[in-house]
Amino acid sequence: MTDLLRPHAVATPVERLDGPAKVTGTAPYAFDHAVPNPAYLHPLQAAVARGRVTDIDTRPAEELDGVLAVLTHRNAPRLASDEDAELAILQSDEVAFRGQFLGAVIAETPEIARQAASLVRITVDEQEHQVQLRADHRQLYVPEEVNPTFPTDTSQGDVDLAARDAAITVDERYTTAWYHNNPMEPHSTVALWQDATLTLYDSTQGAHPVRTAIAPVLGLDPEQVRVIAPHVGGGFGSKGTAHAHLILAALAARELPGHWVKFALTRQQMFSLAGYRTPTIQRVRLAADHEGRLSGIGVDAVEQTSRFKEFAEQTGIPARTMYAARNRRSTHRLAPLDVPVPSWMRAPGECPGMFGPEVAMDELATACGLDPIELRIRNEPHVDPESGKPFSSRNLIACLRDGAHRFGWDGRDPTPRGRRDGRWLVGTGVASSTYPVHYIPGSAATVRYLGEGRYRVEVSATDLGTGARTVLAQIAADALGVGVERIELGIGDTALPVATVAGGSSGTISWGSTIVEAARIFRHEYGDNPSEGDEAAGTTPENPAAERFAMRAFGAQFAEVRVHEDTGEVRVPRLLGVFAAGRIINPRTARSQLIGGMTMGLSMALHEESVLDPRFGHIVNHDFAEYHVAANADVGALDAHWIDEDDPHVNPLGAKGIGEIGIVGTAAAIVNAAYHATGVRVRELPVTLDKFLH
């Protein structure tokens, strides 16, 4: 169903249309919007992980000059719905996690709000809490489904039997750490409640999804809520769902009609209020013959959720579809803890869920005496192992071969500890990557002729810094058969036609296909010589091929790792990713997405880890001084390539998503390279230096 057969703007490296506004500081982020009569909110937070508030003394705060209001569960209005327990704040005296909102101070300046908040005395009757994930947690339970709607457990054949009878087995436990999304722009919202309408300048991955989530909580019709988000400084999933700060700001705005209430989470507050990636404990089993042909694949994952609201990460999903094997199983178990609710972080499911299996594949290659690329090629399935459907396109092998060539893999001696440079042990490693094609229906777009060859195209999409604004303009230009400079694009506003969330690497393909449809209808109705004001609308076209095919992007990640023999210091001088993701709409922004994902994968492998204090239930390294995100000095030569992949089935653009696949497999490639360098197999992320010192 590919419509853009002869692309012009598409597939060219158009520079970001918002680049000048970004670098000159004129692109308004949520908190930047100049508003009359601002008020500033500072939250009150729980200092214990579980308990009941027995007293809140707000008088010292209320007596401070410049304080406009103090909200607690005692005076906050009843919410219209408590269905989403994360959003149902200030409705009772219960404390469900440390850092939970217990109230807010709103004042004329941020400084007064913060000082006043520090004067509020909160007394809590503390209860015993559980905050540590353990594989043998006594209350492990089986969720009904895993994110978003996958079956919790799947089984074909008998993995236990396959493992017992196999010539070679790998049966190991792998763990990934607790990670926090840390976009540059903290979660921020600016709220005005006036004439029964709530207006928000918000930092979000979806203006319409935010409105849909918060309107029922506040007892409003969606049409009474307007959300505006023209520029967003990253999200990585943490702004893909509505968090409680939106409700706190809205309640404050309702208390103070006519005031714009400004609320930006501090970096520290983000560590308890903006979601995070659950730690995972994965038992991975591979059963194979001497030639490395898999007869069994098993992944049993244990993860955490909060006790008050469930989030079940789909860690076992990639193992269901990655390699051929007659016997397979995947399971998910959740430990309910007194912690904030986990949520999406770049490639939920795929990212942690490819770590264990892709390290296990490396262990199997070693056990079989096989090159790890050859092992993967031998286990390439002819159809999707889970559904039995053919893949619309699957070019994992092409990525592995192309990457091997570019990286200089051929002739690699597989023996660990075989290469050194002075005191540095040097190794190389590889891992596969994959991410599903999420083509999401439900968006709408309009095309209006402005005269003089110019068109206005509107869809309430979000540009998180990914380049979506630029890429959508390219798609609109080709769909209308005009130059990119003729397109004026409107995005990020619920006053525009509805759009789905910027999540699941779905944005470009879903919104872009919607624009293609609107442009097709426009040309059908008005031809090539429209009159000023002519307008047409379209919705996301259905893709009947989605029923017939399994659709995924694939990739291969290569890493060179150096480990210092004396100190254990780990460096990654080289990372290479080769991807097969359908048509690449903009090579410039695509490359940024892919190397950005790979950098985040490097960061996950070596640096990032949210360290829990089990006594109090909070993350102790809750700032950039101690939660280290890879910086320039941590990143060596980094390169991303893609193969020409022509997939006529995925959508009218022939494109797959690229926002998330870059992070998938990177950590496994680094661990595999570290093993090759040192002979030490690390199965617990992050790969810190102590793991090499015996």
Q: Cβ 351 to ligand MOS, closest distance in Å? A: 9
CB closer to ligand MOS, 313 vs 478: 313
* Minimum distance of ligand MOS from residue 653's CB (angstroms): 19
Separation in Å, CA 676 to CA 266, 352, 605: 41, 21, 16
Contact 595, 662 (CB under 8 A): yes
User: Based on CB atoms, which residue is closest to ligand MOS, 348 or 601?
Assistant: 348
The rounded distance, in Å, linking the Cα atoms of 504 and 551 is 13
Give the three-class secondary structure for 473.
helix
| Residue with nearest beta carbon to ligand MOS | 237
Round to the nearest angstrom and report the end-to-end CA distance of the chain.
58
| 185, 350, 645, 660: the active-site residue | 660
Residue 67 vs 491, nearer CB to ligand MOS: 491
Q: Which residue, 183 or 686, has its beta carbon nearer to ligand MOS? A: 183
Interface contacts to ligand MOS, rule CB under 6 A: 205, 236-237, 240, 344-346, 348, 503-504
Q: Which ranges constitute the DSSP H helices of 80-234?
A: 110-119, 159-165, 207-218
Place of tokens 């309009």: 446
Residue 289 · residue 166 · CB < 8 Å:
yes
Using the minimum distance from each CB to ligand MOS, give the nearer residue, 240 or 652. 240
Cβ 271 to ligand MOS shortest distance, Å: 17
Enter the tokens of residue 301.
Answer: 């994952």
Task: Kindly give, in sequence order, each residue whose CB lies less than 8 Å from that of residue 161, ignoring residues fewer than 6 positions away.
Answer: 327
For the CA atoms of 671, 677, 682, 688, what is the dihedral angle to 10 degrees? -80
Residue 422: CB atoms within 10 A of its CB come to: 9
Of 199 and 343, the one with the shorter C-beta distance to ligand MOS is 343
C-beta of 119: minimal distance to ligand MOS in Å? 38
At which residue do the structure tokens 């309702």 appear? 254
- Told to judge if 452 belongs to the known catalytic residues of this protein, a careful annotator would answer no
Sheet of 570-580: strands edge to edge?
Answer: 420-421, 424-436, 552-564, 570-580, 637-642
CB 352 within 8 A of CB 274: no
**Closer to ligand MOS by Cβ: residue 29 or 344:** 344
What are the residues whose beta carbons fall under 8 Å from the beta carbon of 156, sequence distance 6 or more? 326, 327, 328, 329
Q: Active-site residues: which are they?
A: 660
